[in-house]
């Protein structure tokens, strides 16, 4: 688990020295042409108890984005949730399937959803084995722009309410969501699960032996070089700009890479309004986190109550 977290975090944590970049310059790294055609294509549709699950793809600057579009029964207008999955290697839910059952239950309460695959799980992706590679930084950049294009897709629909939009992101996609909270103001609510949002405290901790080993492996000079080139991938530069959106941070007590002290530090860095909660769980979190997350979204999005018994029966992540 710690090694996996490191592989995702290294390109993000090499951002811990030098002058703070200007926010206005950083956000330009996530610009795109909102007027470009979405070229929506559908590969199939499944009916899940009155909820329509569409297997779709749409155009984005770096290629097509595979996604599930979940639409409730009825005419709307519907709230909408963008879901971003974790990146745990070997997990069968290391893709857009992670939140599908949750999205279907929320659809029965009146929320549409868009669940996309991250670039790292799309066909043709080859992982760079260099621990100092910027590959995951560019993947995070691509994923964020792909989510913005997905938001364009949702808001082009007459049955979506633009005043009731939320984002849920886990691990890698919590990192993406931290940046998105500062960049994309069409989203009013964010749930960010087991994420890393400020790098310096983590990478420079002298008591963290994995980080000590990493600094020796990569070298201080290379760290400084990475800082200058990829500062735009550190959520710490964006999360203070999350207002007026509401942010709910979820963490596991047993998630070893993220201590309670570090998690609470992240919480204080976000704008208001905000909420934080901890669970008796590891990086995958658990059913209690799922139920509290969905109930928070129900309140934020003005939905009908969701079946908590059904929520608790969704299989735990592995």
Q: Which secondary-structure segment (H or E) carries 234?
A: none
pLDDT of residue 212: 76
pLDDT of residue 2: 40
**Tokens 């950083």, located at residue:** 26
**Does position 5 have pLDDT exceeding 80, yes or no?**
no
Q: Is the pTM of this model over 0.85?
A: yes
Taking 50 as the threshold, does the pLDDT of residue 7 lie above it?
Answer: no
Pairwise pLDDT comparison (2 vs 103), residue with the higher score = 103
Residue of 12 and 276 predicted with greater confidence: 276
Residue 217: pLDDT band with limits 50, 70, 90: confident
The rounded distance, in Å, linking the Cα atoms of 32 and 35 is 9
pLDDT band at 202 (very low <50, low <70, confident <90, very high): low
Q: Which pLDDT belongs to residue 150?
A: 98
Percent of residues, the chain, with pLDDT higher than 90: 78
Tens of pLDDT along 83-111?
A: 999 999 999 999 999 999 999 999 999 99
Least confident of 1-10, 37-46, 286-295: 1-10
Q: Which residue has the higher pLDDT, 231 or 2?
A: 231
- What local confidence, expressed as pLDDT, does residue 47 receive? 98
With 0-12 CB in 10 A as exposed, 13-18 as middle and 19+ as buried, what is 80? buried
pLDDT of residue 131: 72
pLDDT band at residue 307 using 50, 70 and 90 as cut-offs: very high
How many H-runs (helices) and E-runs (strands) does the chain carry?
11, 9
Domains of the chain: 2-312 (3.40.50.1820)
Decide: 281 and 222 in contact? Cβ < 8 Å.
no
Please state, as a whole number, how many other Cβ atoms lie within 10 Å of the Cβ of residue 200. Answer: 13
Instruction: Output 262 or 30, whichever has higher pLDDT.
Output: 30
- Range with the lowest mean pLDDT among 107-121, 155-169, 211-225? 211-225
Is the pLDDT at 230 greater than 60? The verdict is: yes
Average pLDDT, the chain: 91
pLDDT higher than threshold 60 for residue 18 = no
Of the pLDDT bands very low, low, confident and very high (cuts 50, 70, 90), residue 3 is very low
Separation of alpha carbons 35 and 29, rounded Å: 18
**pLDDT higher than 50, residue 22:** yes
Model confidence over 144-185: pLDDT tens digits? Answer: 999 999 999 999 999 999 999 999 999 999 999 999 999 999
Higher pLDDT: 133 or 179? It is: 179
In the prediction, which pLDDT does 214 show? 77
The pLDDT, as a whole number, for residue 247 is 99
pLDDT (mean) for 279-301: 98
Q: What are the distances in angstroms from CA 32 to CA 26, 28, 37, 68, 179? A: 14, 9, 12, 22, 15
Nearest residue to 170 via CA among 83, 246, 238, 254: 83
């Amino acid at each position: 688990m710690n090694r996996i977290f490191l592989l995702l975090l290294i390109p993000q944590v090499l951002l811990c020295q030098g002058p703070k970049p200007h926010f206005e310059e950083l956000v330009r790294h996530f610009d795109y042409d909102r007027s470009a055609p979405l070229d929506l294509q559908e590969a199939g549709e499944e009916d899940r108890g009155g909820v329509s699950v569409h297997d779709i793809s749409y155009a984005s600057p770096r290629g097509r984005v595979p996604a599930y579009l979940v639409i409730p029964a009825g005419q709307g207008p519907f709230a909408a949730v963008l879901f971003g999955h974790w990146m745990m290697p070997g997990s069968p839910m290391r893709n857009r399937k992670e939140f599908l059952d949750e999205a279907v239950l929320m659809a029965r309460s009146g929320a549409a959803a868009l669940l996309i695959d991250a670039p790292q799980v799309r066909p043709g992706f080859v992982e760079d084995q260099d621990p100092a590679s910027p590959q995951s930084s560019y993947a995070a950049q691509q994923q964020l722009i792909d989510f913005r294009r997905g938001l364009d897709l949702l808001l082009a629909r007459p049955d979506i309410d633009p005043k009731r939009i939320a984002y849920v992101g886990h691990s890698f996609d919590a990192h993406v969501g931290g940046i998105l909270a500062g960049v994309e103001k069409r989203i009013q609510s964010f749930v960010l699960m087991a994420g890393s949002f400020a790098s310096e405290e983590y990478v420079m901790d002298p008591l963290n032996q994995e980080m000590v080993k990493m600094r020796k492996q990569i070298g201080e000079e290379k760290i400084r070089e990475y800082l200058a080139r990829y500062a735009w991938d550190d959520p710490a530069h964006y999360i203070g700009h999350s207002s007026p959106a509401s942010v709910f941070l979820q963490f596991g007590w047993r998630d070893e890479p993220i201590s309670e002290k570090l998690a609470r530090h992240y919480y204080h860095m976000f704008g208001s309004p905000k909420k934080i909660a901890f669970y008796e769980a590891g990086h995958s979190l658990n059913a209690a986190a799922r139920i509290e997350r969905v109930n928070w979204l129900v309140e934020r999005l003005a939905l009908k109550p969701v079946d908590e018994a059904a929520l608790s029966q969704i299989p735990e992540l592995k």
